[in-house]
Amino acid sequence: MAKGMIRLSEEGGANQCLYVDVKRNGRLFRIYSVHLQSIRFEPEDYRYLDTVSKSGKADLSSTRRLGGKLKRAFIKRSEQVAKIRAHAKQCPYPYIIAGDFNDTPSSFAVNQMARGLKMPFVKKGLAWGVPYNGDFPNYQIDFIMATPSLILKAIP
């Protein structure tokens, strides 16, 4: 049985993936716990978004700053997903991938990670839950997915 970390960021920090092999009822499986790249909005970014939503007036330099942060985060998450999928491909057991994806259900990162996996909350009809309740629009950013051979139960 193995355990370890997949380094997702050269800087270290919170964006990493931990994994552990678990034996239950004589069956081995792996659990990956992920925390993918956040957008890293700062207070000034939230203030700007609030101002734009109230006044409808955008400022080009602030909009570019936010666009750059979004772009960097999208690219970083796609790279992180590729690392996790490559690691999981070598896993000799069924596995579960769960955690904070910092992205929406329709995003590239979530869809690439979910490729070939099942998502119990989608199957149960609870796919559009809102586990994140912060300042930015409230979207589902936390996910659980598993190899098809595992039986997971979504409990509302």
Residue scoring higher pLDDT (125 or 150): 150
CATH number for 3-39+75-146: choose from 2.30.110.10, 3.40.30.10, 3.40.50.1980, 3.60.10.10: 3.60.10.10
Q: How far is CA 81 from the centre of its chain?
A: 9
Is the Cβ–Cβ distance between 83 and 9 less than 8 Å? no
pLDDT reading at 132 higher than 60:
no
> Measured between alpha carbons, how far is 76 from 9 in angstroms, rounded to an integer?
9
The amino acid at residue 32 is: Y
- Where are the alpha helices (H) located in the chain, listed in sequence order? 43-55, 60-89, 108-114, 120-124
Least confident piece of the model among 24-28, 94-98, 121-125, 151-155: 121-125
What pLDDT, on the 0 to 100 scale, is given for residue 133? Answer: 52
What pLDDT, on the 0 to 100 scale, is given for residue 92? Answer: 94
CA triple 94-83-1, angle to 5 deg: 40
> Measured between alpha carbons, how far is 16 from 115 in angstroms, rounded to an integer?
20
pTM for the full predicted model: 0.82
